[in-house]
Amino acid sequence: QMAASSSGSRWFYSADSPRSSPRLTTRKSQQQQPPPPAAPSSPATAARGQQQTGTPGHSIRKVTLTKPTFCHHCTDFIWGLIGYQCEVCSFMSHEKCLKHVKTLCSCMAPNLVQVPVSHCFTSPGHYKKKFCSVCRRQLEDSPAFRCCRSCELHVHIDCASFACSDCRKCHHDGHQDLETCHHQWREGNLSSSTRCEVCKKSCGSSEVLSGMRCEWCGITAHAACYFMLTPECTFGKLSTIILPPNCVRLCCPSFNKVHCFRILESLQPEQGTDEDDEATPLGDVHSSPDSSKQILKIFDGDDAVKRNQFRIISVPRIAKNEEVVEAALRAYYIPDDSKDYQLQTLTQQVLASEDFINRNGDVDNGKPFSVFRESVPEAWVIRFKAKDSEIIKIYPGWLKLGVAYISIKINKESIVQAVTKKVLQQLGQEKENQDSFHLVEVLMGGKQVQRTVLPAEELMFSRLQDIRKTSVRQMIQTRFYIEKVTASVVQNNLLVSGLPQELPLEEYSNILEHQLHIKTDLVSVSRVYPGQGNKLNMLFLKMQLDKVCQLFKKLRSRAQISTHIILTNNKHHEKIPQKSCPLLVFVNPKSGGLKGRELLHSFRKLLNPHQVFDLANGGPLPGFHTFHQIPNFRILVCGGDGTVGWVLGVLEEIRRKLACSEPAAAILPLGTGNDLARVLRWGAGYSGEDPYSILLSVDESERVLMDRWTILLDAQEAVGDGPDSISEPEPPKIIQMSNYCGIGIDAELSLDFHQAREEEPGKFNSSLHNDTDYLPIYLLTFSHRYLPHAYQLKMKIKKESFDIPQMFEKLAGFINIISWGSGADLWGSESDGRFVKPRIDDGSLEVVGVTGVVHMGQVQGGLRSGIRIAQGSYFRVTLLKPIPVQIDGEPWIQPPGQIIISAAGPKIHMLRKSKQKQKKQTGSKRDNRVDAAAVNGAGN
């Protein structure tokens, strides 16, 4: 139910400035008042026009409450049966709080945007205790875009098209030249324990959308307090590991954030996109009405009609024409005056019908009039009333002239060139060459910001009419900027794979010219990485970037050439602060079940998304190439031991091409073994810790050295017929090793376990689950089907030879770290006069064996240790028959031949978690013993 004034006007809330006391005014009185002055004390209001300065713009109405409701301003429960609600964004408030409200209505949010930046939404899902940033309603009961991948925006599916393009500015697009970064505020979805940075009182709530949070540094404040903070953002506790946005420059006008952030999972069309979505009823106002109300389908233009995207409103069967138009504008979050709009009936034959609501013949001095007659359709289109002249706003862009916008009056004969001349005159730039400036039309869409340079001879008035005819909402989201034409050519990096190796640079250009049918002067090859999957990096000019990418996509679809396109960016490494050490994050989304993908989303929000890389999209090389000019950076690898070895292997091969040739690496364990992570105190696995705390631990970690080993696998002869036969010898290959190399029973068990996991991956997605349930079962099964026999191999350590079968039955392997087989202590902690205490940086490998399956089970259970054989830095193993081999957890069957193990050159730098950040061990005694040995034996 709704209570209105005797005159039928809706109540609107306004204030002269953010610091002044607001007042309630009717729409009619608000139009007669002069626009309030600007408020320079608030950095957020600087981008608003003078007309909207300090005006939240809510359309407040008194409502009767039917369920428990909380105030969006003070977050307290509203006692009694009466509340005050905004008809547009459902903002709810006490009567006593109305005069203190500073929160802006969703329809006015585009006025706060200084630099339009589009969002990058995830797939729809169900999420509890989250609220839509557009309509302020809870997401729990309906599907929603989870949120933007780079900020904390949450929206319903049907609200996504109304989301404001106010995402984080993660890079510069060539028009910006700022040395400092300002806070970027996002409202709501704060926990109830959040405190205001200004008044130190609670500013969060789990019941309503309230409070403000900076997307970069994370500080929180009330909506009435945040403008008191200094505008500069220091990035908080993560300032030393964040890549500042002003250090990244990326010019890609036709690419959305999916391409800019190298997001693989959204390259396919998402469900719930604008092309497939059909708007749904919104809130109580648009719910199923009683018999005294009528449901209407409202389209906002020709484009919505073609897509069959409409909004549903319900109005009284006998209502004023102005009220019906107002309800239609509210449904599309359009804050304009309803007198400038009219409703046109939708017919199947033509859209240019003359049956309008609000036409002069139907309005009888503002008396109620039934708009629902017989034969009148229930589908309507919002149209803007034709005028002879209009006033448009022109924003000065990055000319740094200290004004928000310039108002220019145009008529049907006004062309873009004349508008540009008037703007320069009002800006005091009439002496400048007019040809050096152009007008740019910017569509501030929530999913993509589109820029279009307007031709000088185009009619400006016709341009506005075409936009409004397509969509009146699109006109609200469209801005016009005046910008200075620059002669500089901006280049973008495009990483391409699948081309032949070891060719001169000019040959690559010839291949591209032949395959893509483009001239060689449009593309320049800057860097080649021959050892990493035939990957080739090329620089394209900005104007040819879109065309070249389209050609590559066509070639990939026709399979003429294997290509993999990854858009990288240019770093202004000279702008990085001296004390800053940006963190390069690699995440394997396939590790740890779905935890890898969740971490990928979390790190993109906490850090700059340009420093977070998905290993499923091109591997580690795009990240290293992006950071190749940064003088000092660190690495965080989120994955298992195999993922860590993969990243470290790529680092070894391209180390000489990096400005920081020795970056230290930290580990977030997501695999099943995670032995290296245990030694470096990062734990046995990820169990849902706060990603923010993980980043703080990485920032406070200490550098240690670790040996890196090279293993040469040389199969010298083929094997005859048999169950384990190999038709022909494999070519020699080199593998890098960090943890251990297992030969014999250890590798055979790992191979069986690996094959079982490939067949049923859902049963092996937890390290603890594998250790407690599946590993003992596999040990028992392996012991029952195992027939005792000695693997035929010989080993040579420097000049001393060993005949392995004469010493004991089975060889476990060569270990570089003290954790083996998911935390087992294979070497043992007992002192031995024959061998020195092992360290991860001592330049030696430890050779350990076991006597059989029972012995291995005892080692896994922490009851015994292995048999110590030798220590050394060079090993040659001769295989006399096929034998299982595993390196850092990756098993296979190795044919007869030679295995040569030697040091890989310089030691690598790793990051070890500091003791004060290490949590108490709650696992088994085996994990506790391995961790204690790591603390005492790891090198510094």
Higher-pLDDT residue of 937 and 330 is: 330
- List, for residues 67-88, the tens digit of each pLDDT value: 888 998 888 888 888 889 898 8
Higher-pLDDT residue of 371 and 548 is: 548
Residue in this structure with the two tokens 């001296």, named with its chain if needed: 578
Q: Give the containing element (helix H, strand E) for 496.
A: strand 491-497
The segment with the largest mean pLDDT, out of 41-45, 413-417, 777-781, 816-820, is 413-417
Mean pLDDT within 237-250: 88
Euclidean distance between CA atoms 238 and 692, whole angstroms = 9
Euclidean distance between CA atoms 173 and 175, whole angstroms = 6
Q: Identify the pLDDT of residue 555.
A: 60
Mean pLDDT within 246-252: 77
Q: Identify the pLDDT of residue 278.
A: 40
3-state DSSP call for residue 492? strand
Domains and CATH numbers, the chain: 389-484 (3.10.20.90), 581-700 (3.40.50), 712-716+731-912 (2.60.200.40)
Mean pLDDT within 317-334: 88
- Residue 695 — pLDDT band, cuts 50, 70, 90? very high
- List, for residues 356-370, the tens digit of each pLDDT value: 444 333 434 444 444
State yes or no: pLDDT of 226 exceeds 80.
yes
State yes or no: pLDDT of 513 exceeds 50.
yes
State yes or no: pLDDT of 544 exceeds 60.
no
- pLDDT above 70 covers a percentage of the chain that reads 68
DSSP string, 109-132: GGGG-SS-B---B--EE--TT-B-
State yes or no: pLDDT of 199 exceeds 90.
yes
CB under 8 Å to 477, separation ≥6 — which residues? 110, 165, 443, 444, 445
- List, for residues 459-485, the tens digit of each pLDDT value: 999 999 999 999 999 998 999 998 888
DSSP string, 174-209: SS---SS-B--EEE----TT-B-TTT-SB---SSS-
Q: Identify the pLDDT of residue 328.
A: 92
- One-letter amino acid for residue 835 of the chain: F
- List, for residues 725-765, the tens digit of each pLDDT value: 555 667 788 888 988 888 877 777 777 766 676 666 555 55
State yes or no: pLDDT of 421 exceeds 50.
yes
Higher-pLDDT residue of 273 and 455 is: 455
CB under 8 Å to 784, separation ≥6 — which residues? none
pTM: 0.81
For residue 508, count other CB atoms closer than 10 A to its CB.
Answer: 20
- Residue 669 — pLDDT band, cuts 50, 70, 90? very high
Strand residue runs (E) in 157-284: 185-187, 212-214, 220-221, 248-249
**Per-chain mean pLDDT for the chain:** 75
Q: Identify the pLDDT of residue 31.
A: 33
Euclidean distance between CA atoms 802 and 797, whole angstroms = 8
- One-letter amino acid for residue 182 of the chain: H
Q: Identify the pLDDT of residue 604.
A: 93
Question: Which class for 557: exposed (0-12), middle (13-18), buried (19 or more C-beta within 10 A)?
Answer: exposed
Mean pLDDT within 449-458: 89
Q: Give the containing element (helix H, strand E) for 341.
A: strand 341-345
Mean pLDDT within 580-586: 94
- Residue 640 — pLDDT band, cuts 50, 70, 90? confident
